[in-house]
Structures are given as structure tokens and as C-alpha cells.
A and B are shown apart, each in its own frame.
Chain A
Amino acid sequence: MTRDRLAKISLYGILSAGLLVVVGPFVWMLLSSFKPEAEIRSVPPTWWPSTWTFDNYRTLFDRLDFPQYFTNSVIVAVLVTVGNLLFCSLLGYALAKLDFPGRKALFLTVLGMLMVPGMVTFVPQFVLVSNLGLANSYAGLVLPFLAGPFGVFLMRQFLLAIPDDLIEAARIDGAGEWRIFWRVVLPLCKPALATLGILTFLSSWNNFLWPLVVATTDDKYTLPVALALYSIGQNRMYFGLLLAGAVVVVIPVLIVFLALQKHFMRGIATTGLK
């Protein structure tokens, strides 16, 4: 009995230490963003701020363009998410429930795209978007991400498990194909749509390489781009500013994640991808 107890206590001990190592840096980031610059640089470093200040955030929002970057991030992420929900569920439904020539080839091609690294496509995409006159525009930021292969895979897998009878019954009742999709199929897909929506929003919010290349002026930067450019540019010496910037990037995502984490876990456990 005592040996079991000892094992349990040491297990809790190890897990808690692990939790501290993983979550500690985030706590330190949040606390330090409220410290004055001198305290952040003080040796040895402090955990709890000895003086609280909002100066870092004030500078971020008043002097720098963070409200604009924040708005850009929201606009891009919302458009990308809506696009993926619509286009991926349409194709996912066609692949799972409708028979049409080239169906299998299309699915395999889309699936194969999951293996292609972003580095392979971004140079031609940049040439394409520039020639369409969309460089440094919201359209340019959004268009290449509207149709993601991951969403098709997720929607198709989910729809395969839905019995054909439901769709056949609606068809016999005389409902048109569009109506069936809108009124019967989509409502059944709510859990998959929730998972896809959250994962897409998140990956768009955190997306870095493409906006770094396409957004060339301040007014189109997304948050990660702005943060990265500030941290390697002239402002890199302002520690407090950068930490406050990191908080602004991280906090919205953390709130979404904590509120909806069961959808995350389901999405990862069922598809194995993030």
C-alpha cells in the first residue's frame, strides 16, 4: 500500500515539475510584460513585478500600430476560416457521398498536397499574387489559404461515418441537392465544422511565412509578422515591448483554446493532425 502511495506521489511530483517547465515561461511572459524595462533587465530576474506598469501596452497600442496588426490578424483569420468551412465541406461531401468521375484522383491529389512544404509553393505563389496585383492586400493574404487540404480530409472522414439513408430519405422526399447539403448534411456536421473552424482560425492566426512575404507595408502586417520584425529590427532592445507584444499574440488564442479545448483534442485524436 505504502509503495503504491509513494509511486503515486512521485508521479504527481514529476508531472507537476513538467507542468511548471511547460507553463512557467508563459506565466513569466505575462508577469514580465507589466514590469518596467529596468526590472526586466535586472539581475537576478524577478517573478512578481515589484512595480506594476501598463507602459509597455500603452506604447504598443498608442505609439506603435498594434491595433492595426490585431485587426489585420482578425480579418485574415476570419476570412480564411469561413472559406475553409464552406469549400472543404462542399468537397468533403462530394468525396464522401456523391459519385463523379475523377473522384478518387482528386482526393489523392488533395491528400498529397499535405506533404508539400510551404517553402515549395511560396515563391511561385508570390509571383502569381504579385502579377494578379494582389501583393500587400487582404486578398493576397487570404486567397492561397481558402482551400486547405487538411479540411477536406477531416470533413470527408467525418461524412463517411454518416449513414446514406438520411440523405436518400431527403432525396426521396424530393429535396434538391443543394437543399439536402444545406439542411441535412451541414447540421449533421456541426462537431466536425467546430473542430475545423477552430483549427483553421488558429493556424491562420499563427501563420507566419506567407504574411511575412506578402505584407510589405505596416498597414497590412499581421501580429506574428509585426512581432518578428520588431524583435529583429531596431526595436529589438525593448524587452518589455516585445513581451507585451507576445502576450497580445498569445492571449486570444489561449482564451479560445481553453474555452473550446474538447474540440481540439477530438480533432487531433481523430485525424492525428493539428
Chain B
Amino acid sequence: MTALLEAPPAVKRAEPRKHRRKMIGWAFAAPFTALFLIFGLLPVVASLVMSVTDMRATDLRTPLAVNFVGLDNYTRLFSDDLFVRSAINTLIFVVVGVPLTIVAALAAANALNSGLIRFRALFRVGFYLPVVTSIVAIAVIWRFLLDPQAGLVDNLLARIGVDGPAWLQDTRTSLGSLTVMAAWRNFGSLMVIFLAALQGIPQDLYEASRLDGAGRWQQFRRITIPLMRPALLFGAVITGIGYLQLFEEPLVMTQGGPLSSTLSVSYHIYNQFGFGNYGYAAAASYVLFVAIVALSVLQFRLLGQRDD
């Protein structure tokens, strides 16, 4: 303050104004930042701390009076058969579901971009419809569609002479059913992203390659795919992040069954929270968090390697 008062007049005028500017910036940032610190950042840190304690539901009112247990929760996790099972299920769901969703989205985007003008908006809106609807409602609908007796799917199959399985009640088809349903629900959002990317590809590239005698498939492989790389990478990353958090579908459709064949990591965490094992649930959630970051980094490495 004294330094400020002793400064030459020119600076004296500039300094308070600069200081004021800084205050204004923070004044605008403050409301969000306060809420964000309390309900966003604090819980992220608290979760990490909880994961190395033996906190249980009975400690709800005294969250600071818990015991430090080191990495016990984490070592217990990896010897917990249910957690390992849920991790394998989730991994299968991601590894099969992400490519399936991307292929469906890519096919839809290319079909809608291939010179077809009429009804384009109708198809786009239709394909996007499941994305905006509640997963719980969709899970309710699909549970009925996949019903072995009165369900639409098996009855349509019966018409062409196929004896459809009990999709959600059979351990061989339960996880696969949820995977296909997730692709069905989510490909629309990737389609919109891919459509935007496709429209950014200059048409003269296709014309030039046509003069060189390239066929449709070659054009798709040599021009479309390489130029869509950033969009594909982005799509793979956000779909992967979403699919790793699989939760509502098994909760509503299968309750994790039959025989834990659809138990996901998130569902397992939710169950452990329900049993009151807060520290244990927090540890499992951090493993999921690390998996999400790792998957994103891996995808950037694998798919983004040719980017400069």
C-alpha cells in the first residue's frame, strides 16, 4: 500500500484500475467457483481420502472420526470376486460397445451425407431420439421388447422360424443385449458429430480421386477415414468414458443378474454404498476414475498417433 502511494502519478492512476480489473474478474468468477469448490472439487478430494479409511454409513455424522487403513480397501477390491467380475463385465461392454456404436454412427452419417437431400432432417431427428430420452424409460421399454413370452423381438424372430433366447434371463445373452441396446441408444449423438466432420471435407478431394480412378470404397478408406480422424478419436473417447460408467441399464433391466453376468463396476459401487461400505465404495470409484483416464490416454495414443 505504501509503495503504491509513493509511486509516480502516472502509475498511481493505472495501478488501482488494474487492481480493480482483477477484482472484477474474480467477482464474476466467484459464485460458480464457490459452488464448484464445495460440491465438485471437495468431494473429488474427499473421495480419495475416504478410500484410505474404514468409513461406513454409521460414521455419516462424524466423517472426520474414522480410521486410516492405508491401501486395505484397494487390496480388498482386487480379491473381491464380485468386483473382478464387474470389472470384466464392464470391460467387455466397453470393448464391444464402443466400436459397435462408432460403426453404426459412421454408417448412418455417411448414408445421410451421400447426396440424399429429402427427409434428411427426419432421419437425423429420428436417429437422435433415443439420446435425449431417459435411460430408465428406455430400459423399461427394452425389458418388455426382450421378454421371452410377450416381447416383440422374440415374436418377430418366431415369425421367421427362429426360436429366440430369453435375452435378459440367460447368462450367455444378457450382457450382449445390454451392449446392443447401448449402441442403439447412443449412436445418434456420434452420428451428429460425424456428420459435421463429413461436411467439413472438401468435395474436390473426392473429385480429384475419382479422376484418378478411385472407387467408392477406396475414397472412403483413403479420404473420409483419415480426414475424420479427430472426430473419430473424440467419439471413441467420449463414448468410452460414458460406457465405463454403465449403471442404469443393469439396475432397471437385470439387477446385475443373472448370476452377476451384467453387474457393472458402477452398479457394484452403488451396492457397496447401499451396504454402508463408504470407504470401500470410494476406493472402487477411484479405480473406475483411473480406468477412465487411462482409457482416454490410450485412445489418444492409438488413434491420434498420426496427428501432429
- On A, residues with C-beta under 8 Å from B are 8, 11-12, 14-15, 18-19, 21-23, 25-26, 28-29, 32, 40-45, 86-88, 90-91, 93-95, 98-101, 103, 106, 109-110, 113, 115-128, 130-131, 143-144, 146-147, 149, 152, 177, 181, 202, 205-206, 208-209, 213, 223-224, 227-228, 231-232, 239, 242-243, 245-246, 249-250, 253-254, 257-258, 261, 264-265, 268-269, 272-274
A246 contacts B32, C-beta separation under 8 Å:
no
Interface pair B63/A127, CB less than 8 Å apart: yes
Using known A-B contacts A25-B145, A128-B42, determine if residue A246 contacts B140 with beta carbons closer than 8 Å. Answer: yes
Asked if A21 and B288 make an inter-chain contact with CB atoms under 8 angstroms apart, the answer reads: no
Bound form: Cα–Cα A101–B29 in Å? 11
Determine if B123 is an interface residue (Cβ-Cβ < 8 Å). Answer: yes
Residue of A nearest to B149 (CB): A43
Q: Which residues of A contact B136 (CB under 8 A)?
A: 206, 208, 224, 227-228, 231, 246, 249
Best-buried of A23, A32, A117, A146 by chain B (most CB within 10 Å):
A117
Q: Which of B108-116, B202-210, B221-229 contacts A (4 or more CB under 8 A)?
A: B108-116
Q: How far is the CA of A143 from the CA of B35 in the complex (A)?
A: 8
Residue of B nearest to A177 (CB): B24
User: B143 contacts A123, CB within 8 Å?
Assistant: no
A146 to B282, CA, bound (A): 23
Give the complex CA separation of A152 and B36 in angstroms.
11
Query: Of A18, A41, A127, which is in contact with the most chain B CB atoms at under 10 Å from its CB?
Result: A127
Are B255 and A228 interface neighbours, CB within 8 A?
A: no
Contact status B251-A123, CB under 8 Å: no
- B144 at interface, CB cutoff 8 A: yes
A214 to B251: give the CA distance in the assembly, Å. 17
Q: Is the CB of A127 within 8 A of B36?
A: no
Output the least CB separation between A227 and chain B (Å). Answer: 5
Contact, CB under 8 Å: A209 / B32? no
Could you jot down 22 A-B contacts, CB within 8 Å? A11-B111, A18-B123, A18-B127, A19-B123, A22-B127, A28-B152, A29-B141, A86-B31, A91-B31, A98-B21, A113-B44, A117-B292, A119-B285, A123-B285, A125-B39, A144-B40, A202-B132, A205-B134, A208-B134, A224-B136, A253-B133, A254-B132
8 Å CB interface, B35-51 against A:
35-36, 38-44, 46-47, 50
Q: What residue in chain B is nearest A228 (Cβ atoms)?
A: B136
* Known contacts A125-B43, A274-B131: A100-B25 contact under CB 8 Å: yes
B16 at the A/B interface (Cβ < 8 Å)?
Answer: no
In the complex, A172 Cα to B188 Cα: how many Å? 47
Shortest CB-to-CB span from B223 to chain A, Å, is 19
Given the known inter-chain contacts A147-B40, A206-B134, please indicate yes or no for A88 contacting B32, CB distance below 8 A. Answer: yes
Which residue of A22, A99, A268 contacts B184 across the interface (Cβ within 8 Å)?
A22
A126–B112 alpha-carbon span in the complex (Å)? 45
Inter-chain contact A269/B192, CB cutoff 8 Å? yes
Q: Shortest CB–CB separation between residue B152 and chain A, in angstroms?
A: 6
Chain B residues within 8 Å of A, Cβ to Cβ:
21-29, 31-33, 35-36, 38-44, 46-47, 50, 60-61, 63, 108, 111-112, 114, 116, 122-145, 149-152, 155, 158, 184, 188-189, 192-193, 195-196, 234, 238, 241, 244-245, 247-248, 251-252, 255, 265-266, 269-270, 273, 278, 281-282, 285-286, 288-289, 292-293, 296
A115 touches B293 (CB 8 A): yes
Note all chain A residues with C-beta closer than 8 A to B122. Answer: 19
In the complex, chain A residues whose CB is within 8 Å of the CB of B124: 265
Partner of B296, one of A115, A124, A239, A243: A115
Q: Is the CB of A120 within 8 A of B141?
A: no
**Besides A94-B28, A268-B193, 10 other A-B contacts (C-beta < 8 A):** A15-B116, A100-B23, A117-B241, A117-B288, A117-B292, A120-B286, A124-B50, A127-B278, A128-B43, A249-B137
Cross-chain contact B155 with A228 (CB below 8 angstroms): no
Whether A94 contacts B47 in the complex (CB less than 8 A), given A123-B285, A228-B248, comes out as: no
CB contacts (< 8 Å) of B144 on chain A: these are 32, 40, 239, 242-243
Tell me, rounded to whole Å, the shortest Cβ–Cβ distance linking A58 to chain B.
19
Nearest CB on A from B294, distance (A): 11
**Residues in A whose Cβ lies below 8 Å from that of B273:** 122-123, 126, 213
User: Could you tell me the distance in whole angstroms from the C-beta of A112 to the nearest C-beta in chain B?
Assistant: 9
- CA of A115 to CA of B289, assembled, Å: 8
Known contacts A125-B43, A253-B133, A94 near B184 by CB under 8 Å: no
Q: Is the CB of B278 within 8 A of A90?
A: no
Kindly provide the distance from the CB of A215 to the nearest chain B CB, expressed in whole angstroms: 14
A94 contacts across to B, CB distance below 8 A: 25-26, 28-29
A261 touches B39 (CB 8 A): no
Which of B36, B50, B135, B151 lies in contact with A45, CB distance below 8 A?
A: B151
A228 surroundings in chain B (CB, below 8 A): 136, 139, 248, 251-252
Chain B residues in 8 Å Cβ range of A274: 131, 189
